[in-house]
């Protein structure tokens, strides 16, 4: 926030701005120089903000009608679905919103992986982003427990039991987490409390995420440093806001498709059966967005080993900026890394798929191969490729590739010719 030149026109504005520079902040946000070659993969930051706010707003309304009690939770959800005005809409937006949130965050993360957005000088943005992602998983997991269906209960049982793998103190920790000797009413009430808290922590981290972003500015598809402001940049408003708005609308169409026409397709039918500690479902599976990690967890025959690998799979991402040795950011100019990037995507998809299947036979083999490859990618392939790869020539400025025939530019040119 170095642009100090902003001076409010009115006297009152100046008086206020000298005491609290909110107007300077607003001016910084609208004028923020943004690379003009950002493609649609860059619109997911805005989409994710929308997702977070949607979850918070619908969640606040749901909490007005929901009852966090083991005997009443399931019935209170049905009360929301049947008796609360548009309760079904609010709940379906919230439950599908979680899935859409994760869909968007995965695209956002893989965008960063492809274009090297995590590299210097953006390591802190990346790390804050991962902290947001971790909190998202915690919030989603606890939220899934709240309806107190069969999958809620047994999912909570499986996940909290992971902590019992910790040597010596594991059992005590698990009991402490439960607030009882099994998943029970105290577990439900504390999960509800935390589920309400976490989104606001995420909101705080989002502010830091954006703040950290505004120091070096956006990365871009070419991955080069650019001068700001310059011919290579456009002010955030209206150029990026209108593009984000368009992408958000497309995203909302897909979102609405799920909410109105397939609201339960991403959930598990067992969660419409009230939790019963005496009956274990045939297959306990988490929501789709946690499946790759579930596959990693189950690929190890030892419980503690599985837990370590599962958490390791996430924590390894924290040191990613230092594992990637390549000086070139964007995979556009990294022919070898580009291939491994797509293989990693397939690997994660395969892990997600086998995570939904019983841990036996071919699925177990696939899960193990997938797990080994996942770690191989980050620990071996990434550092080695960075050294050996012969990267393609990187342009000196954005205007260069843009001038030589970007789709947007030639289209705009054609439009101009028509006029």
Q: How far is the CB of 320 from another protein (least distance, A)?
A: 21
Round to whole Å and give the CA distance between 163 and 144: 19
Yes or no: say if 126 and 113 are a contact pair by the CB < 8 Å rule: no
- Considering beta carbons, is residue 5 or 415 the nearer one to another protein? 415
Q: Which of 238, 277, 301, 335 binds another protein (CB under 8 A)?
A: 238
Query: Is residue 350 a contact point for another protein (CB under 8 A)?
Result: yes
Q: Which of 7, 22, 26, 242 binds another protein (CB under 8 A)?
A: 242
The CA angle 231-233-238, to the nearest 5 degrees, is: 125
Q: Cβ distance 143 to 195 under 8 Å? A: yes
User: Would you give the binding string for another protein spanning residues 190-229, x where CB under 8 A is met?
Assistant: ----------------------------------------
Minimum CB distance to another protein, residue 78 (Å): 4
By C-beta, is 207 or 245 nearer to another protein?
A: 245
Residue 40 touches another protein, criterion: CB under 8 A: no
Tokens describing residue 336:
């070898």
Asked whether the beta carbons of 268 and 151 are under 8 A apart, the reply is: yes
**3-class secondary-structure state, position 235:** strand
Q: Which of 272, 288, 311, 375 binds another protein (CB under 8 A)?
A: 272
Task: List the beta strands (DSSP E) in 183-282.
Answer: 233-235
User: Which CB sits closer to another protein, 239 or 318?
Assistant: 239
Element (H, E) at 33: strand 33-35
Which residues are within 8 A (CB) of 306 and not within 5 positions of it... i.e. 6 or more apart? 165, 296, 297, 298, 299, 300
DSSP character string of 275-299: --TT---SS----GGGHHHHHHHHH
Is the CB of 211 or the CB of 260 nearer to another protein?
Answer: 260
At residue 45's C-alpha, the angle toward residues 41 and 48, to 5°, is 115
Could you tell me which stretch among 19-27, 80-88, 103-111, 128-136 binds another protein (CB under 8 A)? 80-88
| C-alpha distances out from residue 419 to 215, 405, 411, Å | 40, 20, 13
Single out the segment in contact with another protein by CB under 8 A; choices: 169-177, 210-218, 234-242, 376-384: 234-242
Number of Cβ within a 10 Å radius of residue 240: 22
Residues numbered 111 to 170 that lie near another protein (CB under 8 A) are none
Structure tokens at 274: 């009230």
The verdict on 61 binding another protein (CB under 8 A) reads no
Is the Cα dihedral 43, 47, 123, 307 positive or negative?
Answer: negative
Q: Does 104 bind another protein (CB under 8 A)?
A: no
Please tell me whether residue 365 binds another protein under the rule CB under 8 A.
no
The first and second tokens of residue 270, run together, are: 């067992």
342 near another protein, judged by CB under 8 A: yes
63 binds another protein (CB under 8 A): no
Q: Which of 56, 89, 162, 165 binds another protein (CB under 8 A)?
A: 89
Question: CB 335 → another protein: shortest distance, Å?
Answer: 11
Which residues contribute to the site for another protein (CB under 8 A)? 36, 75, 78-79, 81-82, 88-89, 92, 231, 234, 238-239, 242-243, 245-246, 249-250, 252-253, 256-257, 259-261, 263-264, 269-270, 272-273, 282, 339, 342-343, 345-346, 349-350, 353, 357, 366, 399, 403, 408-409, 411-413, 415-416
């Amino acid at each position: 926030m170095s642009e100090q030149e902003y001076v409010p026109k009115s006297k009152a504005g100046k008086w206020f701005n000298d005491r609290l520079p909110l107007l300077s902040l607003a001016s910084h946000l609208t004028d923020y120089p943004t690379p003009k070659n950002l493609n649609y993969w860059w619109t997911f930051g805005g989409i994710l903000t929308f997702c977070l706010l949607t979850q918070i707003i619908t969640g606040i309304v749901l909490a007005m009608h929901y009852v966090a009690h083991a005997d009443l939770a399931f019935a209170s959800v049905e009360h929301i679905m049947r008796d609360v005005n548009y309760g079904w809409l609010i709940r379906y937006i919230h439950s599908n919103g979680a899935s859409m949130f994760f869909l968007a965050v995965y695209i956002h993360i893989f965008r960063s992986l492809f274009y090297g957005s995590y590299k210097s000088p953006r390591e802190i943005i990346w790390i804050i982003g991962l902290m947001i992602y971790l909190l998202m998983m915690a919030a989603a997991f606890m939220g899934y427990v709240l309806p107190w269906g069969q999958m809620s209960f047994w999912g909570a049982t499986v996940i909290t039991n992971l902590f019992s793998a910790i040597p010596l103190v594991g059992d005590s920790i698990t009991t402490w987490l439960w607030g009882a000797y099994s998943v029970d009413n105290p577990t439900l009430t504390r999960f509800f409390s935390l589920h309400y808290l976490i989104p606001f922590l995420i909101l705080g981290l989002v502010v830091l995420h954006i703040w950290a972003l505004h120091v070096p500015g956006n990365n871009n598809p070419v991955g080069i440093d650019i001068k700001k402001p310059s011919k290579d940049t456009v002010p955030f408003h209206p150029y990026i806001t209108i593009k984000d708005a368009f992408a958000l609308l497309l995203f909302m169409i897909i979102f609405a498709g799920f909410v109105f026409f397939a609201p339960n397709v991403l959930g598990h039918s067992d969660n419409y059966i009230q939790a019963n500690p005496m009956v274990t479902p045939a297959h306990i599976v988490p929501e789709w967005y946690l499946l790759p990690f579930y596959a990693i967890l189950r690929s190890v025959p030892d419980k503690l080993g599985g837990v370590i690998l599962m958490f390791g799979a996430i924590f390894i991402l924290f040191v990613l900026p230092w594992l990637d040795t390549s000086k070139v950011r964007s995979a556009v100019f990294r022919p070898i890394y580009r291939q491994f990037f797509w293989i990693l995507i397939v690997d994660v998809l395969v892990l997600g798929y086998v995570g939904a299947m019983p841990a036996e036979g071919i699925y177990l083999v696939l899960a193990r191969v997938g797990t080994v490859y996942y770690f191989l990618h980050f620990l071996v392939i990434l550092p080695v490729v960075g050294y050996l790869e012969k990267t393609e020539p990187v342009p000196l400025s954005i205007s260069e590739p843009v001038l030589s025939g970007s789709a947007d530019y030639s289209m705009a040119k054609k439009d101009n010719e028509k006029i």
